[in-house]
Each structure stands twice: as structure tokens, then as C-alpha cells.
Amino acid sequence: MIDAKKRPGLLWIWLLWLVLFYGAWLFLMLTPANAADVREHGSIALAMLFGSYVAGSTPMGGGTVAFPILVLAYGLPAALGRDFSFAIQSIGMTSATIFILCRRQRLAWDMLAGSMVGSLIGLPLGIVWVAPLVPTVWVKLVFAVFWAAFGVLHLARLDELLATSGNAGRSGRQEFLAGAMAGFVGGLSIVAVTGVGIDMLLYALLVLAFRVDPKVAIPTSVVAMALNSLLGVAVRQMEGGFEPGVWGNWLAAAPVVALGAPFGALAVGLMGRRPTLLFVAFLCVLQFAWACYHERATLGAAGLVGACAAVVVCLFALDRLQNVGRNLGKSDSAQDNE
């Protein structure tokens, strides 16, 4: 873990990035077809005003908002929602990452490095081999179940999670190995299918098991999702390109998220994480209810019961992870007192 002082003087690097990005975007707008795409997909830009704020201020990527809007609300293919998540986060979360690094915010570097090693293997394999085999309805449910469990956990344990500070004394090697496992498994399954998820996995590991301060865990999760998004974009391009429709939505939303995600990273330090996390937690539960309602005919009674059971299983796993962190914290405290 590196604890460096913030150096506002480095923000010129982030400002230079913005100048280059907006210059390139305005150049693209000189093409009439691109300008028409922006006008046609203006609604997703409005949605990503909130989505980019969520991406920068919480351990949830902008795709957490984009995916259910495109797939659940608009009824577009799940593969398009996944590709758009990669594409839009490659701008928004990359912008937030540059902002975070320029401010020299603390990051869990060992966990972050391990997650990238795991993702470099798991994410390409998942995109190429796993995602095509998963039926569309199950893609929607994987997303809905995973984030519903996250939301319920935060509603139930918000005070404890926000009170976490420091860490439980775990070694850098343990953080690296845990991050590598999360990067591989998460990339192979959740991120490859939905375009989001590694950020929440790392956040859960850092806060629940390693008892790292959320002020460190959240920016670490943002950087991890930015790197996974760039990797996802690269893999999809090598596969043959994005799903039709991604480009127009990206053109409309990209100029919004380039500023929105860094603003979220800054605002959370000023207004606190409680209001944002509470709101996002409610949204997580709401999108699960909406997904079940939307797919009720396809799932049937047995499928709906199975989806609810999957949320309970995820909650149990997260609860066990949190207990591990509590026990390790107690063990370290006892050793310190001897």
C-alpha cells in the first residue's frame, strides 16, 4: 500500500488528457453521420450523467447503470450492453483513473497488480469462450443477482463498512494472490458477460476480508475497472469489433463521462459516501426486481425462485468474507496487545 501526498500540481496531466479527448471528439462531430448518432442517442448521455458519477464515487462501474438501461429498459441485446460498458468505461473510468493518479490518492497496489495479472488471462478467455455460451436471459440475471446481493449487503452493513479503516495487517503477497484470483475468476465469468464487476469484487475483498479503508478501496476498484475496460475493448476489437449500436451510444455519452467520473471521485470526498452508496444500494435491489418482472414469462416460477436463491447464496458468500475479515482483525489486535 502506497500512501503518497496529494499533489494538485500534477492535475495539468489530467487537463491535458481532457483537451486531447474533447479535441478528438469534436473532430469526429465534423462527420454528419456521427453528429446524427449523437442526436439520436441523447437519452443514454443523460443516463450516463448519473452513471459516470457512480463510476467515480463508488465501487461500481458506469456500466452498472448503462447495462440495465440498454438491456433491461430498452430491450437491446446483452452483448451490446456488455460492449457499451467496456467502451464507455474506457473513457469515463480512465479519466477518473488519471484524475486519481494525478491527485496521488492512496491505492492498494498489491491487490490491483494481482487483479490485472488474473484479468489478463481470465477476461480474454471469458469473452471468447464463456460469454457466447451464456443465454441472454442468464446474462441479465447474472448482472441482476450479483448487484442485488451487493445492494442488500450495503443496506444491512453500511455503518460497519463505512467505519472500516486501515487494514488487518495482511501481507502484500496475500493481497496480490487474492487479487489475482479475483481478476481471473471475475474476468472469466462476470466481467466477460456483463462488462462490469471486477471493481465490486476487489472492493469486497479489500473492505470485507482485508478491512482496508473504503477511501483506499474505492479508487483502487475504479482503476481496476478502467484497466479491465481497456482490455475488454482490445479483445473485442481483435474479435471483429463491437456489436452494432455501440458506436452511436458511445459518441453521445463519452463527452459526459469524461468529466462525470472524475467529478464523482472528487465529490465523494466532499459530501461523503453514505448518501451515494445508499442510493446505489437501492438501485441495485430495484434493478433485480425489474429484471425478474421483465423476464417473468421466460423464467417461470422455478426460475424466479432460483434467482432469489442465488441472491441469498451471494449474500452468504459476502457475509462469510466479512467474517473472515473480522476474525483476522481480532487476531491482529490480540497480537498487537501482547
DSSP 23-64: HHHHHHTTSHHHHHHHHHTHHHHHHHHHHHHHHHHSSS-THH
Q: What is the per-residue pLDDT across 84-131, written as a single tens digit (0 to 9) for each? A: 999 999 998 899 899 999 988 899 999 999 999 999 999 999 999 999
Residue 334: inside a domain: no
Residue 166: inside a domain: yes
Number of domains in the chain: 1
Residue 20: inside a domain: yes
Residue 2: inside a domain: no
User: In the numeric block, which cell numbers belong to residue 297?
Assistant: 414469462
Q: For residue 162, give its domain range.
A: 8-327
Residue 337: inside a domain: no
Burial (CB < 10 A; 0-12, 13-18, 19+), residue 157, is middle
Residue 332: inside a domain: no
Residue 22: inside a domain: yes
* pLDDT tens across the length of the chain (338 residues): 444 444 556 889 999 999 999 999 999 999 999 999 999 988 888 888 877 877 777 776 666 677 777 776 777 788 888 999 999 999 988 998 999 999 888 999 999 999 999 999 999 999 999 999 988 778 778 878 988 988 898 888 888 777 765 554 456 888 999 999 999 999 998 899 989 889 888 988 888 888 888 788 888 998 999 999 999 999 999 998 898 889 999 999 999 999 988 887 777 666 666 776 787 788 788 878 888 887 888 889 999 999 999 999 999 988 888 787 777 665 555 555 55
Residue 84: inside a domain: yes
What's the whole-model pTM score? 0.85
Rounded Cα gap, residues 94 and 260, in angstroms: 11
The secondary structure of residue 303, as a DSSP letter, is H
CA Rg value for the chain:
19
The pLDDT score that the predictor gives to residue 118 is: 97
The amino acid at 335? Q
Average pLDDT, the chain: 84
Cα-Cα end-to-end distance for the chain? 25
Q: How many residues make up the chain in this entry? A: 338
